[in-house]
Structure 1
């Protein structure tokens, strides 16, 4: 396996020790989420390589960017990626389960943004690789746990941003409503103009407001990217 890092315009990410490698979902979420100037604190749940935290550190002056990772190898690699970046003084990674973190931190810290590219493959598709399964399957971080835990950690103005499969949208939003978290912005993602919608980018808040919805298509055809996608990720990918 290659140990060469994945290079972005302002940072690089080593990922040889992470079960889940850098993919389109994480980059989309890190580029898409709104980052108002008043944002002071961010929590990245299930950081993996640390890619989303690094993107947000590049995009935002937020002084507190915490990340959480349960897998030991991924945690250690995320720490190394943070320390090698220009924003190491603002990035900190915890090695813990989300439920443990919530219990420890709910009286200590509140976050203006919680962001997560959560595992969402169901158990029917499990492999024999424990680390990869942990990174990919809901057993490690079910939506209900992510949503409920976030209510304890969000500040009064806090938002939760996620990317999930389109076929999980109704279930996710129904569960979110049970915890008084409401969608404010949703972007439906298609691979190309003729493909089905595969992903939903969702920003949730504590107030039930009108939802802003739109659609993003990634490619016109293979390796020919749409203007909307290029505009979204141009500050990160070297080739765009």
Structure 2
């Protein structure tokens, strides 16, 4: 299946050379992230296939949609996915590590929206596939590097949006506050009504505001999706 392009309503993505394939987490973040503040510049950290950057280009009028990817095969494939889309003139991917990118760009560019679906497995377990491990494991881009770096690249009224395991939510908020970023909105994601909370979608800003917390349930039963989830992703998935 992964050898074939993944087709969305307005673009398709080749992912045969990417260690991490398209999954629900990326689509959720790309649809959930608010554009109410009308960002003119967007940065997708760890873009992989280019999915979230492409979603941002579809959803927004931002003149600049940048992405960063350290793994070479994923970088090359994201560039190809950008070029064949309708928004190739607004999309640009940097082949760089995040620390290197921050060092070079913090005095050059500020982004109105920074978005990331970071690596999240932090267990002492590796698959043996170096590219896949780099894409999947938190030591490749730990929150302790991601959050301070994002704070240096964010514009004054910008938002920094991430999706992480629910177990990491408290740690992420504490780290963010140490870097003068504060949660504005949190959506906790459950597979079904009776299942435990699996993910946290968090939007941070540079000023303290009244925090909005809500919950998103994905399915009523297997492949029977909730109306809330379908409404969120209907501009992208072909069959919803």
Look up the match of 1:68.
Answer: 68
Look up the match of 1:33.
Answer: 33
C-alpha offsets along residues 145-185 of structure 1, whole Å, 9 cap, x if unaligned?
A: 11101111111111100000011111111111111110000
| Structure 2 unaligned residues grouped into runs of 5+ | none
Q: How many residues align?
A: 240
1:119-134 to 2 correspondences below 5 Å: 119-134=119-134
TM-score, normalization: structure 2? Answer: 0.98
TM-score, normalization: structure 1? Answer: 0.98
Deviation at 1:231, TM superposition (A): 0.2
* d(CA) in 2 for partners of 1:158, 1:38: 10
Large movers: runs of 4+ above 6 Å: none
1:222-233 to 2 correspondences below 5 Å: 222-233=222-233
Look up the match of 1:8.
Answer: 8
Deviation at 1:2, TM superposition (A): 4.8
Structure 1 residues 37 and 143 mapped into 2: Cα distance closer, same or farther (>3 Å)? Answer: closer
1:125 counterpart SS class: coil
Judge conservation of contact 2:114–2:150 (CA < 8 Å) in 1: yes
Judge conservation of contact 2:2–2:15 (CA < 8 Å) in 1: no
Structure 1 residues 2 and 165 mapped into 2: Cα distance closer, same or farther (>3 Å)? Answer: closer
C-alpha offsets along residues 24-82 of structure 1, whole Å, 9 cap, x if unaligned?
A: 00000000000126310000000000000011110001000000000000000000000
Asked if residue 236 in structure 1 is aligned to residue 236 in structure 2, the reply is: yes
* d(CA) in 2 for partners of 1:109, 1:11: 28
* d(CA) in 2 for partners of 1:116, 1:137: 14
| Structure 1 unaligned residues grouped into runs of 5+ | none
Alpha carbon RMSD of aligned pairs, Å? Answer: 0.9
Structure 1 residues 144 and 91 mapped into 2: Cα distance closer, same or farther (>3 Å)? Answer: same
Look up the match of 2:49.
Answer: 49
* d(CA) in 2 for partners of 1:69, 1:235: 26
* d(CA) in 1 for partners of 2:151, 2:163: 18
2:215 counterpart SS class: strand
1:192-211 to 2 correspondences below 5 Å: 192-211=192-211
* d(CA) in 2 for partners of 1:63, 1:25: 25
